[in-house]
Chain A
Amino acid sequence: MSAATANTNLPRRIIKETQRLLSEPAPGISASPSEENLRYFNVMILGPSQSPYEGGVFKLELFLPEEYPMAAPKVRFLTKIYHPNIDKLGRICLDILKDKWSPALQIRTVLLSIQALLSAPNPDDPLAENIAKHWKTNEQEAVETAREWTRLYASGA
């Protein structure tokens, strides 16, 4: 009840986006708004196949700031992940979340881009320095570590 009143002046865009996310979810992605705050989403992304994150279930949080869609959503991994573009606080180095944001992008596009980032780590634009270095010097070993972390932390409990 209180949640409903707090969110009464939710922009139509957010309501529509939420409805679509729930009714036609993108494969491997789920996003549902929190009951207390309809701008806060609990997100799950399945590790893409052919990637070291395959078989993992990764939890993220996504928040739509007051300025959304003029400003980008804020997204962060809650599940520990070994990835050169994601740091230990779960922050993500992704251009569309920073200077390449456009109001014509949506929650869905953001989440798809994050999923794509799991398939294609980019150690040339690193956020986690050590992991990126590991990736560049010994990719096989780094991938193995990523697999192990997936088993340890993202086994979907």
Chain B
Amino acid sequence: MESEDEMQDAWAGTSDGEFVNEEEDEESDALASDDDNDESDYGFDYSNVDDLHPSSRLPQTNFTILSEKDIRQRQDEAVSTITNFLSISPADAGVLLRHFKWSVSKVNDEWFADEERVRASVGLLEKPATSKRQTQTEMTCEICFEVHPFEKMRAPRCGHYFCETCWTGYIHTAINDGPGCLTLRCADPSCGSAIGEDMVLSLVSTDDQQKYMRYLLRSYVEDNRKQVKWCPAPGCEYAVEFQPGVGSYDLVCKCGFNFCWNCREEAHRPVDCETVNKWILKNCAESENMNWILANSKPCPKCKRPIEKNQGCMHITCTPPCKFEFCWLCLGAWTDHGERTGGFYACNRYETAKQEGVYDEAERRREMAKNSLERYTHYYERWATNESSRAKALADLQDMQNVQIEKLSVTQCQPVSQLKFVTDAWLQIVECRRVLKWTYAYGYYLPENEHTKRQFFEYSQGEAEAGLERLHQCAEKDLLTFLGGTPTSSFNDFRTKLAGLTSVTKTYFENLVRALENNLSDVDIPKAAAKSSSSSKASGSSKGRGGRPKVGSSKSGGSSRSGEESTHWSCEHCTYANTTAASSIVCVICNHARS
């Protein structure tokens, strides 16, 4: 528990801090610009700034992270609410809740609308148990054919008696078949009576009890996928509850994993889920293995779990609890087949598609060949390189936090609190690598014929990438000289440079994220705004080059770049606003000559 909290703290920087930590940046970095000004600097019309502001206070408020304990508590609360409202046993309440996907209000609505129908469909019909049997002292079990004393016989409410051993075997088999055991019905084939939690737990081994309770816990999340999902990080046991609202789907779990709630892939802002999933599929499709899966398994059209076709029939029934019946060929509901598809068992949609060539193998291969492998390789390499670079940076960040900062504090005689700019830089690097990685997936799917968009995209991506390279190099290489040696006066220059690069890179990436989330629709604006102080756009002030940060202008505080020209000059290469006092020929950040 403690270590989790620590982890969380260690990560707090990434969660809120990605592009956001304005206050902190301002504290630690006198050069940081005011974010609000930056927005208008870019010259875009952000009528809905809150939606578009990159990672703007990551919408953690829309997500609740649930531990297993939290989930159990919610389940218990739901059961006791239903037990009280409907005056039924907790076991029956459990049956109802599982049937209605843990929605208390749905249970209530359905129950009071038509109790009899609900009872019939979930298997809670009140049938009088055959009294004749209860008077007997011995009974023959219809499963094992053995004669048992009556007290060894058990029956659900329907009165179908079988011996305890047979019930145990029956339930054990169901539990080992999967979560379908949560909706287990009576062993009599003609009967649909529900087997509730109480009966299950009273009959099975501890091992089976645990499995059953596990499925029960998981059902709260897995039956309720529109509102609750598991964190996809390996080994993580937290679930995330989603409350619809504005903002991105990116969130940070308590385990530290940063992911997209919608598609459960690793966080991929600013690229949309569809592109990401296409891309991931594309990467997989390149491997032999995936080809087999594509041919032999399909996602269940209802619950999306992969279903392997291992029987001859086209009539597929998804595994419990989903049990959706569908057609293998067209993934349509089975009920839409048969008479309604022209009296043909064969699926018309598939036949039609075949005729239209949609499923034509040769066609598919031609299509693949057209998407030249080289083009794919180009994007894939860059995507993968940025991913490994991000992983490395993450390790470096942790090393920095755990070891190096302490060292640096000693060698440079600086309090740790004064070295925050180093970890800030690394946090920025990790986040930027993530964004940059996904922009390559975006680029791959950006149509070749959208020339203007492509140009703008490649420009923004290039700028951001170059900025990041400089930052990464500075944080990696320049820092080394200060780790081993003695206190140096140049450490302050290093601080200025690293903090400056962090801020500049942050701005580049904010702009990139914004542009991509806007689907590059403002493509013409930055060009028009570039080098022009009088943009015709009604969006407001557009100062200097579009998207460029206004770093270091705090002294003059003016709202127009022209007023600052005398005290500052903006580097053509990295956009850093150099003070004319410090340097008038070479940029202090990137050493490029002033043009």
**A residues lining the B interface (CB < 8 Å):** 11-13, 16-17, 67, 69-71, 87, 91, 93, 96, 99-100, 102-105, 123-129, 132-133, 136-137
The answer to whether A102 touches B189, judged by C-beta atoms less than 8 angstroms apart, is: yes
The answer to whether A133 touches B346, judged by C-beta atoms less than 8 angstroms apart, is: yes
Complex alpha-carbon distance, A133 and B189, angstroms: 31
Known interface pairs A11-B144, A12-B144, A67-B173; A93-B313 also in contact (CB < 8 Å): yes
CB of B315, distance to nearest CB on chain A (Å): 5
Q: Which 10 A-B pairs have the closest CB atoms?
A: A102-B189, A70-B173, A127-B312, A124-B338, A16-B145, A103-B143, A13-B145, A70-B169, A13-B144, A87-B312
CB of B182, distance to nearest CB on chain A (Å): 16
Complex alpha-carbon distance, A100 and B323, angstroms: 12
CB of A124, distance to nearest CB on chain B (Å): 5
The answer to whether A133 touches B344, judged by C-beta atoms less than 8 angstroms apart, is: yes
Kindly supply a per-residue 1/0 record for chain B positions 304-318, scoring 1 wherever the CB is within 8 Å of any chain A CB and 0 otherwise.
000000011111010
- A125 neighbours in B (Cβ, 8 Å): 313, 315, 345
The answer to whether A132 touches B170, judged by C-beta atoms less than 8 angstroms apart, is: no
- B169 neighbours in A (Cβ, 8 Å): 70, 103
By beta carbon, the residue of chain A nearest B315 is A125
> How many A-B Cβ pairs are below 8 Å?
71
Does B220 belong to the interface (CB within 8 Å)?
A: no
By beta carbon, the residue of chain B nearest A67 is B173
The answer to whether B312 touches A132, judged by C-beta atoms less than 8 angstroms apart, is: no
- A87 neighbours in B (Cβ, 8 Å): 312
By beta carbon, the residue of chain B nearest A128 is B312
Complex alpha-carbon distance, A16 and B142, angstroms: 11
- A127 neighbours in B (Cβ, 8 Å): 311-313
Complex alpha-carbon distance, A128 and B189, angstroms: 27
Complex alpha-carbon distance, A52 and B340, angstroms: 27
Given contacts A11-B144, A103-B187, 18 further A-B contacts (CB under 8 A): A12-B144, A12-B145, A12-B146, A16-B145, A17-B145, A69-B144, A70-B170, A91-B311, A93-B312, A99-B317, A103-B169, A104-B143, A104-B162, A104-B187, A125-B345, A126-B314, A127-B312, A129-B312
The answer to whether A102 touches B188, judged by C-beta atoms less than 8 angstroms apart, is: yes
CB of A39, distance to nearest CB on chain B (Å): 16
- B346 neighbours in A (Cβ, 8 Å): 129, 132-133, 136
- A129 neighbours in B (Cβ, 8 Å): 312, 314, 346
Can you name 28 A-B pairs with beta carbons within 8 Å? A12-B145, A13-B143, A13-B144, A16-B145, A17-B145, A67-B173, A70-B169, A71-B173, A96-B189, A102-B187, A103-B143, A103-B169, A103-B187, A104-B143, A104-B162, A104-B187, A104-B189, A123-B345, A124-B337, A125-B313, A125-B345, A127-B312, A127-B313, A129-B314, A132-B345, A133-B345, A136-B345, A137-B344
- A11 neighbours in B (Cβ, 8 Å): 144
- B313 neighbours in A (Cβ, 8 Å): 93, 125-127
